[in-house]
A = this chain, B = another copy of it.
Amino acid sequence: MTPDAVPPKIVLGSASPRRIELLKNLGLVFEIWPSDLDEIVEPGHTPSQVVAALAESKASRVQTLIQSRGGELAQSNHVIVAADTIVVFEGDILGKPADRADAIAMLSRLVGHSHQVYTGVHILSVSGHDSNKTSNSGLSYHGVEIASVEFRPLSKNEISTYVDTKEPMDKAGSYALQGIGAFMIDKIEGSPSNIIGLPLVLTTKMLRQCGVKIMGE
């Protein structure tokens, strides 16, 4: 990118309030386009493959939505940031809980142990086209980061009281690191932003490759 090039518009392909907050922390202005993707886990894939594939699908889905909507964004240079986070325990992939009982079952497995958190980030850098062309050209960047989280032991009563706060219901692994869930987190090893849903050191590196300026660079 030349110094006076217009920086690309940024699109976050997620409606997650945690990811919105994290991306705002980088000082960026961006549009929010939820991907509304069914998070289907392909059997036989490793955790890294799962989050990489889901993040890529979300980014592609958002790009399709942007193109079908048309308008200024579709015609501008833009980057789409998408991410997917899962919890892995004893080889099982834990996504968002289906209901209260599922959240209690997930947490009952996780307490007193360490589990892994995988976040895949996929960024599509798309060159805008004028209305005479029918397609965009683009580059994609992807990365996966892993962290580990250790929960203290919890009683059944503590688990059900926590689940009743509703915080676990829309979160992979049925907890939030930065919210009420902090009361049970003994220790983490890795990047907190990864566990929350968007690893910021990795995302900064990827966005800069797309010509996005972050923290003055």
Interface size class of A (residues with CB under 8 A): 35 or more
Which among A93-101, A127-135, A185-193 touches the partner chain? Answer: A185-193
Contact indicator A187/B190 (Cβ below 8 Å): yes
Most central of A160, A180, A192 by chain B CB within 10 Å: A192
A201 contacts the other chain (CB 8 A): yes
Chain A contact surface mostly: mixed
- The quantity of this chain's copies bound in the complex is 2
**A residues 176-190 touching B (CB-CB < 8 Å):** 177-180, 182-190
CB of A90 closer than 8 Å to a CB of B: no
Chain B min CB distance to A112 (Å)? 12
Interchain CB contact (< 8 A) of A162 among B180, B201, B215: B215
A186-B201 Cα distance, complex, nearest whole Å: 6
Whether A158 contacts B215 by the Cβ 8 Å rule is yes
- Whether, in the assembled complex, A25 has its beta carbon less than 8 Å from a beta carbon of chain B, the answer is yes
User: Within the complex, what minimum Cβ distance (angstroms) separates A23 from chain B?
Assistant: 11
Q: B-facing mask of A142-157, CB < 8 A → 1, else 0? A: 0000000000100101
